Every structure is written in structure tokens, then in C-alpha cells.
Structure 1
Amino acid sequence: MDNLTFAGMDGIIILSVFAIVMLAIGYFSGKGDTNLHHSLSGYYLAGRNLGFIALFFTLYATQYSGNTIVGYAPAGYRTGFSWLQSISFMTIIIGIYLLFAPRLYVVSKRRNFVTPTDWLEFRFKSKAVTLLSIFLMLWGLGNYLLEQLVAIGQAVAGMTGGTIPYEIAVVVFVLVMLAYEWMGGMKAVAFTDVMQGIVLMIGIFVFLAGALYLVGGNFAEVTRFIADNEPEKLGVPPMEVSVNWFSMLVLVGLGASIYPHAVQRIYSAESERTLKKSFARMAWMPPITTGLVFVVGIIGIMLFPGLDTAGSEQLVGLMANKIAAINGFYYWMMIIFFGGIVAAIISTADSVLLSFSSMLSNDVYGKFVNPGATEHKKVMVGKIGGIIAIFFLLMIAWNPPGTLYQIFVLKFELLVQVFPAFVLGLYWKRLAAKPVFWGMLIGAIVAGLLTLTGYKTVFGIHGGVIGLTINFVVCIVGSMLVTVSAEKSLKKDELAVLELEA
């Protein structure tokens, strides 16, 4: 993000206010709750008691981090109107959620699941499937957390006009995040998400209003400018771009829907009705959030023509400087908005870290290292393990690999390989453990090799989607050939749970 020349000390003041508010929320979330630090569900799932407002905003903050603003507007600038795909792949995530979330909620409520792999362990009774899924999910979470750490440093350094350097910005706000998460767990995360989500929503509308003001309030003029100067960003995209669009829908739609921290929000709902109501409202958010950011990116083509890739990554900061110069109202709204962006990035990072910690404590330590450990000890292991992991990622964040968007894409290639086991297992009782394991492993190897050898896409199709296709084929064909079906291997009461209509 380009340095915000209007911010400086005012930016530091606003960031300090956000930090204090987040710490206060963490303190009061954990105050007087003796069960919070002694129970896995209490600390990691807010006691399975999130109401509609908290659940909606924590889902919103999970799906739309500050990267939605900082990363997607530059992508729209570089790509042009074909970046409309960003709206559709955010929409398809909600559709995929509704495919499995209500049904999974019923099972998780009866079986007291804490992490996503609790479901896979219950369904397949296979250590191999459980271990591989743990690895793939931790890989996805690690990449996502790295992305947020990079974004925090860029956003804070830019907002303070360089007064707070990138490295110091990351460390300070990571410490703030660790502090309020340690004090309040999922409750603190969900309640800070409410604050951050409201600021982000309002800020997007104000930012767009300011951008439209700068181009005379006439979006048609922006389109004419693009047609005259960069017509390739306005025309029908070539076939490979369209194929890539569809591939991205599959990769993001299936991958993001099984993010561990997203799945744990399903577990955290106080009721199935609350869960469905939250998703119904979430269905309106892609055009309101990603759609408006797309428009901002398109307007940027007219305001700052000719930016290269590195320059376009600074687009949001460049536009904010111009918007802040309009009048006093826009000046303060831009400062508050960018404080909200930093807070939104942190809100995503805290969710990822909490889920990462829960998998370390419950899945790695609780299932394989010390199965007899008390829940209090598991929670403490998760907290300490999360701190160690985040400081390891900080060393990588000092020299971030590639643009934010490139980091964003990388994490899905392996994570999406868990999807067949996770969702197909809810509906097809014959799905068997061995084909699931081999499908997941082969799919991950294919996706990983294609990415590492430079073939991120083949004829526009992502390596993760190619691996996922092979994964599905192995799972389905292999399960059809297995002599003892998954249905016979499950107990009667387990089958009854799977047969419940959500």
C-alpha cells in the first residue's frame, strides 16, 4: 500500500484507538468466564453459543479481510472488466456452504466436534486420512496467516506515512492480537469482528463515493476512457481467461468453504436457524463488498493510468490520498477506514491463528501425542504452539514471496484436496477411507508438482483443480470397487446421525 501522505500522526492515533478497543474486547470477553480456558469448545468455539449478529459478522470478517480492499482493487486495475469473477467466486462460496453447513452442524452438535478433522476422524476411522487432512489444512492456514501478516505490515506502514516501519508494525499488532485472543478466545475474536466488519462496510461505501467524485460522478466516462486507452481491459476476454475464470470459481468456491476457521464458525452457532439466517444475509455481501471494490479498481484505471504491476499494488493508497484531499469529512473517513482495514486484516489473522492453534492442540497433541491430556492442558498447548508458529511465519513475512494475490492463490491448491472427503462423506455413505486417502494424496502431489514446476495453470486450469479432479475420480471409483462399504463399517447410531435431514 502506498504511503498515505495525509495520515502520519493522525493515523497512529486511530490505530492506537483500534488496538485499545480490541484489547478491551478481549479482556471483557474472558472476564468471569472460568470455563473459557479449561474447555476446548469454550475457548475455540465460544461455548457453541454465537448469536446471529456475532455469527454473521465473524463469517463476514472471515470471508472479507482487509486484503479484499488492498489486493482485489489492484487485481481489477490490472485485469479490467474480466475481474468481475471476484464477485462470482465470493458468491459461490456461500452456495457451497449451504450445501453442507446445516447438515454438518447437526452432526457436530451431537458429537461435540471442535476441529474440522474431528468430522473426518468420526466419518472414516482412519489415522492416515486424519493425519493427511491435518497437514493439508495446517498448510492452508499457514499460508493464509502469512498473507495477513504481510498485509498488516504494508497497511500500517502505509497508513502512518512510514513513521511505523513495516517490521515494527507487524510485531506490534501481532502482540495485540495474541493478547486479546489469549484473554477471550473465540468470543473475543467474534466480538472484535463485529466492530471491524461495521467499519469495513461503511468505509467501502465512502471510499467508492470519493472515487466517483474524483471522476465527476460519471462511471460511463471511466468506461469511455478505458475503451479509448486500454480497450483490452474492456473487451470480451480470450478463451483461456474464461477457462481460468471457471477454474478459479472451483478452486476458491470449494477451497474457501472448508477453511478450518470457517468450519469452526459453523460449529459455534447457537442453533441451526441462526446458522441459516447468517448465511442468508451473507449471500448479499459479494456484490456489496467485492463488487464495490471491483468498481474502485476500474475507476483507478482512469485516475492513475499506466501503472505497472508493482505500481498497481499501491493503487488503494494512491486513491486514498486523492480522496482525503477533497474535504475534512473525507480526510477523517479515510483515516478511520484505513484503521478499519488494518483491524479487518487482524480479524482474519486472529481467526486463522485460533483455528491453527485448535488443530495443534486437539488434532496433533490430543490425538497423537498425548491422548489422555486434560482439555485445559490441550488449550495451553494450542496457545503456546500458536505463538511459536506465528513468530516462525514472521521471519518469512520480512521478505514476503510475491504479491498478496499470488500468496492468496497458493494456499488453495492443497487445501481444496480435502473437499471430497469432507463434503462427499456427508452424503455418500459408501465413500471409503482408503480411496479417500489415496485420492487426497495423489491430488495434493499433482497440484504441488504443477505449482512448484511453474505450471500454476494448464490451458487456464489451476493445478489445484487438476489435482482435485483426479482426487474425485480416485475417491468415487475406488469406493465403488471396495467390497466392504463405508455404510457397513459405521455403527448404527453413526448412520442415524448421517441420515438426519438438516
Structure 2
Amino acid sequence: MNLTFAGVDGIIILSSYAVIMLVIGYLAGRGKNLSKSMSGYYLAGKNLGFVALFFTLYATQYSGNTIIGYAPSAYRTGFTWLQSISFMTIIIGVYLMFAPRLYVISKRLKFVTPTDWIQHRFKSKAVTILSIFLMLWGLGNYLLEQLVAIGQAVAGLTGGTIPYQYAVIAFVVVMLAYEWMGGMKAVAFTDVMQGIVLMIGIIVFLIGALYLVGGNFASVTTFIASTEPAKVGVPPADATVNWLSMLLLVGFGAAIYPHAVQRIYSAKSERILKRSFSRIAWMPPITTGLVFVIGIIGIMMFPGLDTGGSEQLVGMMANEIAAINPFYYWVMILFFGAIVAAIVSTADSVLLSFSSMVSNDVYGKFINPEATEHKKVMVGKYSGIAVVILLLWLAWNPPGTLYQIFVLKFELLVQVAPAFILGLYWNKLSAIPVFWGMLSGALLAGLLTLTGNSTVYGVHGGVLGLALNFLVAVIGSYYASVSSAEESEAKEMTSLKIEA
């Protein structure tokens, strides 16, 4: 994503974004000792209003990688990549299957992390530990993806003036600083800032790209039909199967991201939560849809790029757009600064959730159950620093393209979905079948990935594992002996009553 036009101006904009983030972190934590409360630090006191909740949900679903990674994917695959819009849409559908119900229960039982629900529902150390491992795997993978993207984005925005490694370290320090000061509240408020700039930037980027191809999208499709007809043709059957498989993988995987679930917990009220989801439902065509169009226009602007070259598509297009006039020049710099801020904002959400699970689920539940909330928060803060150092070591030699990293993290994370969602509605779902279903699904998905068979006839290994997981959990629960007392307890736990 190298921008030959940016240089010093890019450094100024990035420095400005960094200062704004630090100021937000300071203001979010000023006068409050957030470290004394798990709920206060990790969930903003469960008091996020509509604007903050909407934008933090938006930032959770759409990172800067949506622009950097999805436009090149559209470039390489053509109109088949329309599926990216449905990826983001189905996530909202899955949210609505469980989010309002889970919110009411979490409010009553004072949940902090997603596995608080798993522990309360199944009362099984085996199920809890396995779900913790799978969720931490997904978070660690996702955080690695963001660290790789930060380095690429900053190096690109500054025209290579700031090297990849220095870029990652600089913004990781900024992220740790404002997150340390303001916790979830700082994260949510930075999401508001970057979300607004990102939305405006995508629209201006698209207008500039259309201007460069004559202002007529029809001419783009005509060009593609004549030069690369496969990209406008009907996709083959295996591509369609792969698309349906990806819908399940992303839909269930992204909806149960720990940092996404914690945003459900953070809502001020159920009404605000539902209102935020009703607005987020409009974002897939506005965000992912416009990025798809940008990638398609790129086919005409820069034909014949290989995979490595296409990964630089957004930066190459931005260079051309910035040359139109000074207005586009500065909007492009602000836009790419917002992309960096968006990536950092996603990374801070993931890191916050990771540290909360280490402190609450690993340390608080199994190592030191008598620890005070202050002690657990501090353990979470220091563990966050430790995991960032480990992942920085991996980020120096990033594995594969951003899209490949994006796919990898869902294979294991999605195996938590049956226990998490089905447990909200089916009181006979039993702990032992849930454990063996989750384990067998994770082993199958992991085995297929490690042996290079990430898809079988177009179906992702994670989806095959999810199917096995679901069958074992459901069939096993039908045959497992669940006492009437246990079933009654599960019914009581999943009820929607609200205590005074």
C-alpha cells in the first residue's frame, strides 16, 4: 500500500491521529480509577450509549483491513467477490439470534467475558477451559493480523519513510498507552473518531476512482468483459459452494468474537443495543459494497497485476487519486491515516478482550479465584503487554496475505458457536456432549488446515468441523441423562426475567 505522494505529510497526519488517541485515552480515564473494577475497565461500566456502541460495533466488524484486504480480493476474483457483502450481512443476522437474549442474562448475572456464560450454563471445567483456549486462539490470530496490517499501512502512508518494524512498535506503544489509561471507554471513543473519517474517506475514494475511469462504471464492466471475461461470468459450482461455506464460517465465527460479545455486555440498555444493530444492518452495502466497487475499478486502472502486486492496489489507486487536485491529496492522506487508526482501533479491542479473558477466565477462575478485581485487572494489563511482544516477534515475518490470515482464525473459533448459541435456547443441551462436540470439531478443522486441506470440495475445514461439532452435541444431548433439576436450573438461567 505504498503512497509515493505522502512522505512528511503522512507522518504529520499519523502523529496527529496518535495524539488524538492518547488524549481520548486520558480523558476517558481521568478522575476514574478504572483498575478497581473489571466491569469498569473492560466493559466501560456497561454504560455505552447509542453513538459509542454503534461505532464500536462498526469498528469490530470493519477494520482498516476491510479496505486494504477486500479491494485486492475483488480485483483478483472479479464480481464473485460480491459475496463479501453477504459475509458482513449474515454476521448481523447471527448477532440478532442471540445478542438481545444474552444481554438480558449478562445484565442479571454480571458477566464480564464470553466464557462467563459458558461456565454458568454448563458448570463444567472441561467445557470452560476448551472454550477459553479456542477463543484466545481466535483473538491471538486476529491481533497478529492487525499488527501486520499496522506496519504495512504506516509504511505505505509515509512512502516508506517509516519502516515496517518501527511503524508497528510506535503504534503499539500508543495503543497500549491509551488503552491502559481508559480501558473500553477509550477504545469505544477512538472507534467513533476513526469510523466517521473512514466512512467519508471511502466515499471520496470511490468518487475519485470513478473520475479517473471517466465517471462511468459501465465502461469498467465492458473493459473487464473484453479482457478478463472470467471475472464477470457466472462463478463455477465449487466457487458457489465455497461462498456458502464462507457465509457459515464468517457468520458464526465473527459474531462470537470475544470482543464482539463484550460489546453486547457493554450496552447501556437492551433498547440501545437493538437500535445499534438496526443501524449496523445498513453498513455492509455502504462499507463492504463500496470497497468491492473500488476493487473492480482497479482492474481497469491497473490490469494484469499478480497476487503480490494486487495487495498494493489500494495504495496505487490512492496515488492516482491524490494527483487529481489538492483536495483529493489531503483527503487521501486523512483517509489513509484513518485506515491506520481503524486498524489500531481493532487491535486495541482485540487486545483488551484477550487480556480480560486471561485475567478473568484463566487467572481469576483457575489460578487465584480469591484475587481482587484490581489484581485481576492488573494481571490483564501486564498479560496484554506480554502477548503483544510475542506477536510482534511473529509480525516481523507475517504468514501469507491478509486474507489468508483472516480465514485462518475462524476455523477453531467457530467451534464455540453451538455451545454458546444453542445453550441459550435448548435447556437439555448437556456439558459432556458439548465438550466432545467442540473438541472433535476443533480437531477435524485443525487437522484439515495442518495437512493443507483447508477446503474439501469447496467446504472449509472449519465448517466441516462445525457440522461434526453440532451433530455430536445435539445427538449426545438427546441420549445424555439430564436430571429434571439440571434442566430446571438451565431454564432458570436462560430466562429473560430482569431482577430489580
Give the TM-score, by structure 1 length: 0.98
2:486 is the counterpart of 1:489? yes
Question: Is contact 1:44–1:358 with CA below 8 Å preserved after alignment?
Answer: yes
Secondary structure in structure 1 of the residue aligned to 2:452: coil
Alignment-derived partner of residue 156 in structure 1? 154
Read off the aligned partner of 1:14 and give its amino acid letter: I
Question: 2:477: which partner in 1?
Answer: 479
In structure 1, what is the Cα distance between the partners aligned to 2:335 and 2:393? 28
Give 1:23's aligned amino acid.
L
**CA shift in 2, pair 1:412/1:420, >3 Å:** same
1:227-272 CA-partner distances (Å, limit 9, x unpaired): 0000000000000000000000000000000000000000000000
Q: Contact 1:431–1:475 at 8 Å: present in 2 too? A: yes
**Alpha-carbon distance in 1 for matches of 2:482, 2:276:** 40
The offset of 1:497, in angstroms, is 3.9
Q: CA deviation at 1:495?
A: 2.5
1:270 counterpart (268, 271, 283):
268
- Counterpart Cα distance in 2 of 1:353 and 1:212: 38
Distance 2:476 2:487 in 1: 18
1:488, CA displacement in angstroms?
Answer: 3.0
1:275-424 map, 5 Å: 275-424=273-422
Name the counterpart of 2:202: 204
Segments of 5+ residues of structure 1 without an aligned counterpart are none
Give the C-alpha shift of residue 484 in structure 1.
1.7
Give, in whole Å, the separation in 1 of the partners of 2:128 and 2:75: 42
Counterparts of 1:185-224 in structure 2, within 5 Å, are 185-224=183-222
The 8 Å contact of residues 179 and 186 in structure 2, kept in 1 or not, is answered as: yes
> 1:470 pairs with 427, 452, 468, which one?
468
**Per-residue CA shift, 1:448-491, capped at 9, x if unaligned?**
00000000100000000000000000000000001225x63156
The 5 Å alignment of 1:433-452 reads 433-452=431-450
Q: Is 1:93–1:257's contact at 8 Å kept on the other side of the alignment?
A: yes
Across the two proteins, how many residue pairs are aligned to each other? Answer: 498
Conservation of the 8 A alpha-carbon contact between 1:226 and 1:302: yes
Structure 2 distance, partners of 1:464, 1:98, is 22
Which of 484, 494, 497 is the aligned partner of 1:498? 494
Aligned to 1:249: 247
CA contact (8 A) 1:103 1:501 kept: no
Q: Does 1:102 align with 2:130?
A: no
1:359 and 1:176 map into 2 onto residues whose CA distance is 22
* 1:304 partner letter: F
| Matched position secondary structure for 2:36 | coil
Q: Give the distance between the partners of 1:488 and 1:304, measured in 2 at CA.
A: 66
Aligned to 1:169: 167
Structure 1 partner of 2:18: 19
Tell me how far apart the structure 2 counterparts of residues 118 and 95 of structure 1 sit (CA, whole Å). Answer: 23
| C-alpha separation in 1, matches of 2:496 and 2:3 | 54
Letter in 2 for 1:77: Y
8 Å Cα contact 2:121-2:493 kept in structure 1: no
Give the Å deviation of 1:498.
1.1
Task: Provide the residue aligned with 1:129 in structure 2.
Answer: 127
Q: Counterpart in 1 of 2:30?
A: 31
Q: CA deviation at 1:357?
A: 0.2
**Aligned amino acid, residue 486 of structure 2:** S
SS in 1 for 2:370: coil
The aligned residue for residue 457 of structure 1 is 455
Please state how far the C-alpha of 1:499 moved relative to its aligned partner.
Answer: 2.7
**TM-score, with structure 2 as normaliser:** 0.99
Write the deviation string for residues 112-170 of structure 1: whole angstroms up to 9, x where unpaired.
00000000000000000000000000000000000000000000000001110000000
C-alpha RMSD of the superposition? 0.9
Per-residue deviation, 1:33: 1.1
Report the alpha carbon displacement of residue 427 of structure 1 after superposing the two structures with TM.
0.3
The aligned counterpart of 2:60 is: 62
- Letter matched to residue 31 of structure 1: R
Q: Is the 8 A contact 2:105 2:495 kept in 1?
A: no
Contact preservation (8 Å) 2:436, 2:472: yes
Q: Percent identity?
A: 77
Instruction: Give how far 1:501 is off.
Output: 7.6
Find the aligned partners of 1:435 and 1:210 in 2 and give their Cα distance.
Answer: 55
Q: Using the alignment, how far apart are the partners of 2:481 and 2:355 within structure 1?
A: 38
